[in-house]
Chains A and B, each alone.
Chain A
Amino acid sequence: MPSQLFAILWAQWKALRNFRPAEGRAGRLLGLLMALIWYGMWAMVGLGAYLATATLDPERLRIGVPWGLMAVFFYWQLAPILSASLGATIDIKKLLLYPIPVGQLFAMELLLRATAGMEMLLVMAGGAAGLLRNPAIPFWGPLVAVPLFIAFNLFTAAGVRNLLERLLAYKHVREALVFLFVLAAALPQILIYSGMPRRLRGFFSQSPFLLWPWTAGGHLALAERVLPSLVLLAVWTALAYVFGLVQFHRGLHFDFAARAAADRNVPRDRGFVEALYRAPRLLLSDPLAALLEKELRSLSRTPRFRLVFLMGFSFGVLIWWPLLHTSADPAGSGGSFPILISVYALVLLAEAVIWNVFGFDRSAAQLYFSAPVPFWKVLAGKNLAALVVIVLEITLVMLVCVLVRLPMPAPKILEAYLVTLVICLYLLAAGNLTSLYYPRPVNPEHSLGRASGGKVALLLLLTYPVLGIPVLLAYAARFAFDSQAAFYGVLAFSAACGAVVYGVAMDSALATAEIRQERLLAALGESSGPVVTE
Chain B
Amino acid sequence: MESMLEPSPAISVLDLRKVYADKAAVDGLTLSVPRGCFFGFLGPNGAGKTTTIRMLMGLAPPTSGSIEVLGLPMPGRAVEIKRKIGVVPDESVLFDRLTGREFLEFVGRMYTLERRVAAERARELLGLFELQSSPKKLIAEYSKGMRKRLAMAAALIHRPDLFLMDEPFEGVDAVGARLMKDLLIDQVRRGATIFLTSHVLEVVERLCDRVAIIHQGRLVMEGEMAGLRNGSETLEDAFVRLVGAERTLETLDWL
* Chain A interface residues (CB < 8 Å from chain B): 3-4, 6-7, 10-11, 14-16, 18, 20-21, 91, 93-101, 253, 255, 257-258, 261-262, 264-265, 522, 525-530
Contacts and interface: CB of A to CB of B under 8 A. Distances in A.
B97 interface: yes
9 contacts: A3-B115, A11-B102, A14-B106, A18-B99, A18-B102, A21-B140, A99-B83, A253-B61, A528-B96
Given A10-B106, A99-B82, A526-B140, A262 B97 contact: no
A18 B115 CA distance: 21
A253 B93 CA distance: 18
A89 to B, nearest CB: 14
Contacts of B60: 255, 257-258
Nearest to B154: A97
B162 to A, nearest CB: 13
Contacts of A99: 78-83, 110-112
B110 A526 contact: no
B72 to A, nearest CB: 12
Contact of A15 (B79, B93, B98): B98
B150 interface: no
6 interchain residue pairs of minimum CB distance: A7-B109, A99-B82, A261-B20, A98-B110, A15-B97, A262-B21
B21 A529 contact: no
B97 A101 contact: no
Q: Provide the main secondary structure of the chain B interface.
A: mixed
B95 A530 contact: yes
A257 B60 CA distance: 8
Interface in B74-125: 75, 78-83, 87, 89, 92-93, 95-99, 102-103, 106-107, 109-112, 115
Question: Which residue, B83, B92, B97, B141, has most C-beta atoms of chain A within 10 A?
Answer: B97
Question: What class of interface size applies to chain B in its complex with A?
Answer: 35 or more
B59 A20 contact: no
A93 B140 CA distance: 18
B221 interface: no
Contact of A97 (B89, B103, B109, B140): B89
Contacts of B172: none
A99 B57 CA distance: 11
A402 B22 CA distance: 45
A530 B80 CA distance: 21
Contacts of A18: 97-99, 102, 138
B106 A97 contact: no
Given A257-B60, A262-B20, A522-B141, A100 B96 contact: no
